[in-house]
Amino acid sequence: MIFMRGCRIYIWIIALICFVSCKGGGIDYAKEDGGIADMDSIGNVAVHNVDLTGTVMDMADSVLSSLTLEQRVGQCFMPAIYASDDSLNMKKFKSYISDLHVGGVVLLKGNLESATVMASIGSDAEVPLFIAIDAEWGLGMRLTDAPDFPKNGKLGPRADESLLFDYGAEVARECRRVGINMVLGPVIDVTENPRGVIGSRSFGGDPVRVADLGVAYARGLESGKVISVAKHFPGHGSPKEDSHRSLPVINRSLHQLDSIDLYPFKSYIDAGLSGVMVGHLAVPAIDPLSLPAAVSPVVIGDLLRNELEFRGLVLTDALNMGGVEGYGAYAALNAGADIVVAPGNTSLEISRVVEMIRNGDMEISVIDDRCRRILFYKLLAGAFEPRSFSLSGLREEVSHGTDTLYRKLAR
C-alpha cells in the first residue's frame, strides 16, 4: 500500500512537470535542486498561476485521499525538537513520524550534521516533513556551527530591498543544503521600544521599512524554495509583556493597528508569500473577548482570512507558552490555524482532536481543509521530490561567502 501510494505521488509530480513545461511561464527547472516553485516566490505560484495552482491542488487532494484520520490530524502538528542525533532524541523524532504522523518539526538548538540527518529521515517519511527552524538571523541562531548574520535591528542604514533579497536567498541556499524547507521568519513586528520584548529581532519602528525589508527577505527565502513564515500576527511590537510567560494585551485603536502593526503583514500578504505565524496576543479592538490571537476565530478567520484575504499557511506560535495557557490544539485548529506549533503534549493533543472528530464534536472537513493546504505547500516546496543532503564543503563555502554579505548588511 505504501509503495503504491508513493508511486501515485511520483506519477503526479512527473505529470505536473510535463504540464508546466508545455504551458511555459516562470518555472525554472534548471535551478539548483530543481522543483516546481516559481522563480519569484513559492507563494506567488498559489496567488498568480491559476493553472499550476489547480494542478498542485489536485495532487494535494490525491495524497489527502490516501491518508487515514490519524495521519490527517498528525499533518497539522509541528512539535519542537533539538537538532541532536543522540539516541534518545532520535528515538523521539522517529516516533513523531511513525507513531504520530506529524507534518513537521521545529528544530531547536543543535548542529548542522544532526539537522541534516533529521532532515534526511524526514524527507523519507510517507508524507515528507516540513523541517522548520527559527533562522531569524541565519542558521546560526539555532545551529552552533552554522553562520549567523546581524540581527534585524542591527542592520545598517544602507540595507535595502535588493540586499535583503540576496540575504534571504543565501539563507535559503544554506537551508536547502541542510534539508530545511521552512524558516519561521521574518519577524515583521513594528517595535516601539528597541529594548522591549521583540527588540532587535524586529527591523525597527518604521512600518514601511519593516514591510519593505521583511518582504524582500521573505521573497529571497522563497526564491530558494524555502517557505517563509512572517510573525507575530497581528503584531507583537507594542506590548511590554512577554508572551512566553503571560498574555500581552495590545492596547491600540483599530486605526493604529491598521497603520502600524498590520501594515507589514498586509504588504507580505499582497506579495503572495506563504506563511503567517499568529502570536499569543489579546487584541480587544479586534476581538472583544480578548482571546489569544492564535485561538481567536475573529483574529484568524475574520481578520487574517476574510478581511486581509490571506490564503497561505497559518501557524500558531508555540502552544507550550504561557500566553496561551489553558487552550489546546483543538481551539487553534477550530479558530483557523493550519499548523499547531510545539504543543505541550503532542501525542495527547493529537488523540484529543481525533477523538473529537470521531465523537462528532469537530467536523472532519476542518482537518481536511487544513491538511490539504499543508500538502499543497509541501508540494510547492518540493518536499515530495527525491533529495539527498550533504554538508560536504558547506562550512567552507558559507564562511567564505557570508563574510562579505555580513559586512554589507551591517554597514
Q: Which three cell numbers stand for residue 162?
A: 535588493
Alpha helix locations (H) across 49-156? Answer: 50-65, 69-75, 87-98, 112-123
Concerning whether 317 is annotated as a catalytic residue, the answer is yes
**369 burial type by CB count under 10 A (0-12 exposed, 13-18 middle, 19+ buried):** middle
The string over 308-329, giving b where at least 16 C-beta atoms fall within 10 Å of a residue's C-beta and e elsewhere, is bebbbbbbbbbbebebbeebbb
Query: How far is the C-alpha of 379 from the C-alpha of 366, rounded, in Å?
Result: 20
Query: How far is the C-alpha of 43 from the C-alpha of 332, rounded, in Å?
Result: 23
Residue whose grid cell is 503532542? 346
Q: Exactly one of 261, 287, 317, 338 is catalytic; which is it? A: 317
**180 burial type by CB count under 10 A (0-12 exposed, 13-18 middle, 19+ buried):** buried
Q: Which three cell numbers stand for residue 55?
A: 494542478
Read off the DSSP letter of residue 235. Answer: -
C-beta separation of 143 from 183 below 8 A:
no
Say whether 138 sits in a helix, a strand or coil. strand
Q: Exactly one of 28, 244, 361, 403 is catalytic; which is it? A: 244
Q: Which three cell numbers stand for residue 247?
A: 498574555
399: nearest Cα among 116, 147, 86, 166: 147
Concerning whether 244 is annotated as a catalytic residue, the answer is yes
C-beta separation of 112 from 394 below 8 A:
yes
Query: How far is the C-alpha of 278 from the C-alpha of 334, rounded, in Å?
Result: 14
> Mind telling me the catalytic residues?
244, 317
